[in-house]
Structure 1
Amino acid sequence: MIRSRSRALVRRVGRLVVALIRRARRLHPLAAVALLSLTLLIAAGSAAWPTYVPLSGVVIPLLLGGLILGFRQLVVLTLLTMAIASFVLVSREVPTPTTGFALVLGAIGWIVIAGAKVRNQLGVPGTRGESMLMELRDTLTAQGELPPLPSGWRAEVAIRSAGRSKFSGDFVVSTERDNVLEVALVDVSGKGVDAGTRALLLSGAFGGLLGVVPVEDFLPAANRYLRRQNWEDDFATVVHVAVQLGTGAFCVRTAGHPPAIQFDAWSGRWGTRDADGPLLGLMEAPEFAPNHGVLKPGDALFLYSDGMVETPRRDIGRGTDRLAGHAERLVAQGFQGGAAELVAAAGGPGDDSAIVIIHRLEHS
């Protein structure tokens, strides 16, 4: 009980601090005056009670300034802080070494200013740049969430980035309209953070196309968009599926992506749904052949990235068989929670891994 109350108190304090920092970003002049006043207060306290108020406390306003102030205001605060601290040290009756303290304070100020200079070049003061990246990451995560499905259907998605970072070159966009579920799993060239910026850009564009253009036009439209970016030696692979939720009929198209895998509940067999298509972004007007099929009650369809099946020591064919072997163990539990289990069991540690499972339940 005490621990839960303590944690709740810590969370409330954390939310309060975040709210204050966000408000301070909007009022830079007022924040600068407040931090300078805090510096003067600490310096005065240190001059009056050096035993109880250490002068090193002036570092606190300086670090806070690095979070919420603009570049010029931070430079002014740093210079004034060094001047105030040096004055307090020199004015003390008991001789106090000033050189070492001034050097350490100057080094801290230089580090804070260097970070602020980079953010100033981006046009985002304080930690606003990091906040923007977090918001973009949350947007990417939200777009990867599958829409709610009618009774008799279940779908899951799991994505793991290389190096356990929060950004991944694999992403999922999906929509459901007119009782048709459309899902596209995209793998951008590169991995982890290196591919994260391109994935953020493409997720918004592909998410806007999905469900707006006809099913057969999605990959050609995505290819035209990618061609307009003029990225050098960069491309994307995609597997796109449209499922009629009323009948279970589906159509798979791929663009340089590993084939989808279908589980046939009646026979207990696993089969690939090959649909040849070139990589996105390399050709002007490619064609993407469809592969049609039907999901009967109990059947499941698996979309996955190459990080799930390909490694330097294993080709895609063997990796696909290995993935199907792992998925076979999930049949008894109806594939529930299977996406996360498969990413953990079959995903390569050095590459982004993603999988989508679309399961038509036996009993709706």
Structure 2
Amino acid sequence: MNRSGGLAEVRRIGRRVEWLGRRARRSHRLAFVALALTTVVFAVSSLVWQTLVPASLLIIPLVLGGLLLRFRELVALTGITVTFGAYVVLSRGLTLPRIGFVLVLAVIGWIMLTNAKVRSRLGVPGTRGESMLMELRDILTAQGELPPLPAGWLAEVAIRSAGGSTFSGDFVVSTTRGDVLEVALVDVSGKGIDAGTRALLLSGAFGGLLGVVPEEEFLPSANRYLRRQDWDDDFATVVHVAVDLRTGNFDVRTAGHPPAIQFDAWSGRWQTRDADGPLLGLMEAPEFSVNHGQLKQGDALFLYSDGMVETPLRDIGRGTDRLAGAAERLVAQGFQGGADVLVDAAGGPGDDSAIVIIHRTALG
């Protein structure tokens, strides 16, 4: 009982601290007053109990201020902390270690001020900027989730960013319109964090277009939107597929993207679905051809980014054969969980990698 009561008390204290943290992020003036008072308490305590309370405790409110306060409030807190720290330490005598501590405290304050000044230019004080990035990352991840499909169909997506970043230049948007599933796999120029901001912008725009404009107008509409951004030499490649979930008929269109590949369960063969089209954002009014096909029971269609098949030492043709060979080993299990397996097996470590699998199961 005592142990459970102690755990309950720890949880209660944790919730209280979390609430105070949220309150401090909302009320910067309250946070400044609390941190300034904490600095004074630490300084006085260090003067009175020199052996029990180290002066280095003054670093704690300074670092917290760098996370919670606006720039002007942080400047005031830095001045208070350095002043009290210098008085506490140097009152014990002018020695090199004590002078060094004051200098270290001033350097830490300067680092906190530099970071706060960058955030102040964005108008996002404290840790709110990091929270916004996490929310945007979650939005991009949520938009990449495929919609639920009727019995007899399986669809999976897996995306891995270069360098282990949570932001990727590859993203997926999808929707269902009646009995038609539309999926677009987009690869923005660049990789990792460098392409992540453009991917966030385009994912919202392309997701809004998908399912609203006719399927044959999706790529031209996306190209017009990208042209309006005036991103100099930046571009995007796209593979777009529309699948009729009743008949299995599908149309594939690409814009500078590697072709889709289809697994034919009846013959056991792999077939590329070429549909030539120029990169998005480079031409004013490009034309995009279409490749028609059908997914029979047991068939599967693979959409993938160039990070899955192309490396500096391997061209796209050889990479596509290697990807098909890796996917061949998944046929027996019906491609269940195959997207993650293929990204790990074929994805290049130096580039963003993404794959979408649309499988019409044999038990449909």
What is the TM-score when the length of structure 2 is the normalising length?
0.94
Distance 1:315-1:15 versus aligned 2 partners, 3 A rule: farther
Q: Which amino acid aligns with 1:277?
A: G
Instruction: Give the match for residue 38 of structure 2.
Output: 38
Distance between the aligned counterparts of 2:7 and 2:184, measured in 1?
Answer: 40
- The answer to whether 1:58 aligns with 2:58 is yes
SS at match of 1:157: strand
Which digits, 9 at most, give the CA deviation of each residue in 1:32-53, with x for residues without a partner? 0000111111112111111111
- The answer to whether 1:229 aligns with 2:229 is yes
SS at match of 2:246: coil
Where in structure 2 are the equivalents of 1:18-29 lying within 5 Å? 19-29=19-29
Report how far residue 100 of structure 1 moved: 1.1
Where in structure 2 are the equivalents of 1:1-364 lying within 5 Å? 17=17, 19-92=19-92, 98-364=98-364
Which digits, 9 at most, give the CA deviation of each residue in 1:247-285, with x for residues without a partner? 111111000000000001111110011101000001101
Distance 1:58-1:354 versus aligned 2 partners, 3 A rule: same
Q: Assess if the C-alpha contact under 8 Å between 2:242 and 2:252 holds in 1.
A: yes
Identical positions, percent: 75
Distance between the aligned counterparts of 2:9 and 2:251, measured in 1?
Answer: 52
Instruction: Give the match for residue 3 of structure 2.
Output: none
Distance between the aligned counterparts of 1:73 and 1:276, measured in 2?
Answer: 58
SS at match of 1:267: coil
Distance between the aligned counterparts of 2:192 and 2:59, measured in 1?
Answer: 35
Q: Which amino acid aligns with 2:165?
A: S
Distance 1:17-1:287 versus aligned 2 partners, 3 A rule: farther
Q: Assess if the C-alpha contact under 8 Å between 2:347 and 2:353 holds in 1.
A: yes
Distance 1:289-1:79 versus aligned 2 partners, 3 A rule: same
Which digits, 9 at most, give the CA deviation of each residue in 1:219-257, with x for residues without a partner? 010000000000111100000001111111111100000
Distance 1:17-1:314 versus aligned 2 partners, 3 A rule: farther
Distance between the aligned counterparts of 1:35 and 1:139, measured in 2?
Answer: 34
RMSD: 2.2
Distance between the aligned counterparts of 1:320 and 1:203, measured in 2?
Answer: 26
Distance 1:173-1:18 versus aligned 2 partners, 3 A rule: farther
Distance between the aligned counterparts of 1:309 and 1:226, measured in 2?
Answer: 25
Q: Which amino acid aligns with 1:293?
A: G
Report how far residue 95 of structure 1 moved: 7.8
Distance between the aligned counterparts of 2:266 and 2:14, measured in 1?
Answer: 54
What stretches of structure 2 of length at least 5 have no aligned partner?
1-5
Q: Assess if the C-alpha contact under 8 Å between 1:159 and 1:171 holds in 2.
A: yes
Distance 1:213-1:29 versus aligned 2 partners, 3 A rule: same
Distance between the aligned counterparts of 2:35 and 2:300, measured in 1?
Answer: 60
Distance 1:94-1:110 versus aligned 2 partners, 3 A rule: closer
SS at match of 1:98: helix
Which digits, 9 at most, give the CA deviation of each residue in 1:311-344, with x for residues without a partner? 1111111111110000000000000110011011
Distance between the aligned counterparts of 1:8 and 1:169, measured in 2?
Answer: 44
Which digits, 9 at most, give the CA deviation of each residue in 1:132-165, with x for residues without a partner? 1111111111100111111111100001111111
Report how far residue 91 of structure 1 moved: 3.9
Q: Which amino acid aligns with 2:197?
A: T
Q: Which amino acid aligns with 2:335?
A: F
